[in-house]
Amino acid sequence: MRIDKLLANRGYGSRKEVKKLLKSGVVKVNGETIKDASAHFKPDEDTVTIHGETIEYKEFIYLMLNKPPGVISATEDNMHETVIDLLEVDDALFNPFPVGRLDKDTEGLLLITNDGGLSHQLLSPKKHVPKTYFAVIEGEVTEEDITAFKEGVVLDDGYKTMPAELVILKQGLTSDIEVTIMEGKFHQVKRMFEAVGKRVIYLKRLSMGELHLDETLELGEYRELTDEELSLLKKH
Ligand code: URA
């Protein structure tokens, strides 16, 4: 990999600025000063330092965000704040994107990465990666709803969903539930409840595959995945 590309990727300025930086002699590869912007280094073997500080090279970044409401799951938007706007500059430099979408008003687990391969695996309709949500529903969720979800419900566009697992946590004028779906159709959870004549008034994603929301993250906070979380996700 070219040394100027590494420095530009890690936020040390434009290619032109990076060239200047190299000329000033502060960049070393394995202790040897490198001034040539087109010089290459081996990401797995060589140590690159700038002003004596090691620059970590990594290709991919994997972030778990506790998505707050009011923010959209996109990389750019002219009108609204996006989940990428919540990231620190050092993380945004990796050009990550959200893996799938949560509605603007939905909260909870959102994976943000620049690993297109992993994203593709997790979103592939063939893989049936389970996603679990907590929701508050207007009205009383019943045993009949559990049965209907188990069999799959017909959405407003005529699509019959795959079986979904519905667990009632609290029954009453409003009901607390957990639902696990194996697909990711547009507004799926809300539309499944509409199909049984009910309305979702609060929705939060708890898990995606083996990845569970870290409940110590406040809304809007995020952290990198641990190696263990990443290897569990990659099993899909
Ligand atoms: N289902 C929905 O209806 N909305 C979401 O944000 C996620 C799943």
pLDDT band at 57 (very low <50, low <70, confident <90, very high): confident
Average pLDDT taken over every residue of the chain: 95
**131-208 carries CATH number 3.60.20.30:** no
Q: Hey, do 3-54 and 131-208 end up sharing a CATH topology, with the first three levels equal?
A: no
pLDDT tens digits, residue range 85-121? 999 988 998 999 999 999 999 999 999 999 999 999 9
CATH code of 62-125+218-233, in short, is 3.30.70.580
Q: What percent of the chain has pLDDT over 70?
A: 100
For residue 44, the model assigns a pLDDT of: 82
Indicate which atom in ligand 1 lies nearest the CA of residue 187. 3
What average pLDDT does range 215-226 have in this prediction? 97
When pLDDT is averaged across residues 213-219 and rounded to a whole number, the result is 97
In the predicted model, what is the mean pLDDT of residues 163-188? 96
The mean per-residue pLDDT over the stretch 138-165 comes to 97
Cα(103) to centroid(ligand 1), Å: 6
- What's the 135 CA to ligand 1 centre distance in angstroms? 10
How is the chain split into domains, by residue range?
Answer: 3-54, 62-125+218-233, 131-208
- Angle CA 120–124–128, to nearest 5: 135
Pocket of ligand 1 (CB under 6 A): 102-103, 106, 187-190, 203
What separation in Å is there between the alpha carbon of 234 and the centre of ligand 1? 23
pLDDT at residue 236 greater than cutoff 80? no
Q: Which fold has domain 3-54?
A: 3.10.290
Ramachandran bin of 114, using left for φ above 0, alpha for ψ from -120 to 50, beta for the remaining angles: alpha
Residue with CA at minimum distance from ligand 1 atom 2: 187
Burial class (CB in 10 A: 0-12, 13-18, 19+), 40: middle
Exposed (0-12), middle (13-18) or buried (19+): which is 177, by Cβ within 10 Å? buried
Ligand 1 atom with the smallest distance to the CA of 101 is 6
Beta bridge partners of residue 65, listed in sequence order? 110, 222
